[in-house]
Each structure stands twice: as C-alpha cells, then as structure tokens.
Amino acid sequence: MSSLITIDLDALEANYRFCSEQLHPVICAAVVKADAYGLGVRKIAPVLKRAGCRHFFTATHQEGITLRALLPDAEIYILEGVTEQSLAVFCDQGLVPVLITPAHSALWAAQGRELGHPLPAIIDIDTGMTRLGFGELELRQLLEQPEDMDWLDIRYVMTHYACADEPGADKTRDQLDRFDRLRQLLPPAPTCIGNSAGGLLGQAFSGDMARLGISLFGGNPYRNDSLEPGPELKPVLRVQSQILQLREVEEGTTIGYGATYSAPSRMRIATVGTGYADGYPWSLGNRGVASVGGHRVPVVGRISMDSMMLDVTAVPDELLRAGHMVDLIGPGISLEEVAELAGTINYEILTRLSQRARRKYLGG
C-alpha cells in the first residue's frame, strides 16, 4: 500500500473544544455518519467523548449499532428515522430516532404505548431544504393524532439549513423564521438547528444544540472566497503517497491515459502510488497539485486507478528518491484547495477516502 492517511486525534479534540467554547452554552453534538466522514468512527468517537461530547448523530441505525458498542452511555440520534424493519434495533440499542414522517411518529408512538412509557424522539421540521422532515401539512397531520403525541418524549425539535455555508444568505434567516413559526405548533421543546456552518454563526442560529460535522475534522464549513478553514480549526487529515518511479522524458512525450498531456520540454516525472481507487478524484488529472519536500508540483496526465504522475522537474535532487513520500493533502495543500480544484466539496473528498490506504492515528 503506497497511500498513507494520517489522522491527528489531538487536533480533532482541540477542534471540538474550540467549537464548544465558541458556542457555549449551546450543546455541541457530533455528526459521525459515514464512518466519521471517512476518518474512522472507532477511533474518532472515543476521542470526542473524552473531549466532552455526549450527543452523537448518525445517518443509519446500522451506524448507530456500531457507535453504541463504542459509547454505551452516549445519546445517539438516527437521522433516517425508524421503520418497522429497524424498530427492534432502536429499542434494543437505546437509539433515538429523528422522526421525519407521520408514519414514523405513529410507529414510534405505538411502540411506546406497547412498552407503557413515552419514547424519546426528535421531530425534524423541513423549512426549505426539501429533503427530510415534516412540512407544515405533515406537521398538522401529526398534531391531529394527540393520542400519538402522548407517547412521544420530544427531546428536541430540529431543522436543517440549506444555505448556512453562505454567511449572510437570506435563505438562512427565512428558514429560521419559518422554523420558529412551525415549532410553536408543537409542545415546548429544546431546539437543534445549526450544523457546522450555522452553529458557528452564533447561538441565534444554533438553537439549544448544534450538530457539528466538518468543522470537527478541520474543514471549512463555509463556501466563500477563502478556501482555508479558520486559524482556530486545526487540520486533522494528511494524505501522502509514495514515489514508485522516477524518469526523465523528452519533449513531446505523452503522459497517462488518453495522452492528454505532452511534455513541453525535457522534464522529470514521478509516478506515485495513489489513484482514484484510493479516493483521489479522477477530475484532478492535469489540475491537481502535490507537495514534495515543501515544493508544490503539478499533476500531469489523467489520474489512474492506482497511480498518478507529477512534474517534479523543479524539485531538488536530494528530495527525489523512490520510496519518498509526497503530500496530496496536508502542509501547503488544504482539503479545501483539493476540493476546489476537483470541482467538488471538502465533504466529498473526506468521505471518499479509501479503506485500502494505510492509516496512522496520532495522539488520542
């Protein structure tokens, strides 16, 4: 394995503590779906707990089972809600569903009625994302079943911003106003509103509990002219790859599939052992950058499944040896820059990291 992913658990803990201090007295929950954004939930979750996190969100009940084995005492909320197929798991594992439809609410209330006590739940109100949750019509349908409401222990009422990653967007304020209006239809309950982007805008946008994801992992939650995360958020991820081969090529030599790059002059090429099967985007062919001993170098040619080529002509000889490591994400090349060059977002880069790469965890 030529790819090495290094994850700094001390930086992760520092990011959680920073966010908690910034948002105080708002509760900071951690979103650890998709294997903690690709970084490995089995390592990530215990560190977050040690940092003070007691509330966690996952996408699926299967992820909830994994998390429960790691954190026996944590509050674990499942964003996909509860179905007849997953009902037994929720009860056995002590998972809390985020209810997103009247059918989910009826099912969970019926289970509470059978057990003889109300069951904890979060009510998700859709305020403009149009993805999951109760719209106004569905919310009124829920309220038309007061016998079900009696069996729901509503821990939080939540919503999800569509444009919080664009600070100052009118959409965010409109959603917050709509949420404040619709939640008044429900019995009083704490609110869970802000994601990383919304939460860090301040308590008014966070509610009583914020759901933090990308900011914990050192990513910039905002889409703006600055591609770097704030200086307070520490980078957690470093991706490196090993030089497999070095060669000199003459002017006119074509490089990679499709011969999309021709050497403009005599140059030196390094082939490194990372490709799109390792999660490095194919779209970075002839666009990406790497760092060899602190020297930025361009990707030339298309990205292959297991390798890519770099123009290392300007790199000093002493830094170039087969077996040396180069940075693909890390010092001098941020997660945000890689995402920008690839035409995607930092979330996707993280969650596509391959499991076949070697992983090294620092600290923790």
Task: Point out the residues that are catalytic.
Answer: 33, 257
* CA angle at 258 for the pair 340 and 252, rounded to the nearest 5°: 100
Amino acid at 176: L
Rounded CA gap, 124 and 88, in Å?
Answer: 22
Helices 61-70/41-50 angle, 10° precision: 60
Contact yes or no for 270/292 (Cβ under 8 A): yes
Report the greatest alpha carbon distance in the chain: 79
3-state secondary structure the chain: CCEEEEEEHHHHHHHHHHHHHHHCCCEEEEECHHHHHCCCHHHHHHHHHHCCCCEEEECCHHHHHHHHHHCCCCEEEECCCCCCCCHHHHHHHCCEEEECCHHHHHHHHHHHHHHCCCEEEEEEECCCCCCCCECHHHHHHHHCCHHHHCCEEEEEEECCCCCCCCCCCHHHHHHHHHHHHHHCCCCCCCEECCCHHHHCCCHHHHECEEEECCCCCCCCCCCCCCCCCCCCCCCCEEEEEEEEEEEEECCCCEECHHHCEECCCCEEEEEECCCHHHCCCHHHCCCCEEEECCEEEEEECCCCCCCEEEECCCCCHHHCCCCCEEEEEECCECHHHHHHHHCCCHHHHHHCCCCCCEEEEECC
Nearest C-alpha neighbor of 309 from the set 343, 275, 333: 275
Rounded CA gap, 32 and 68, in Å?
Answer: 12
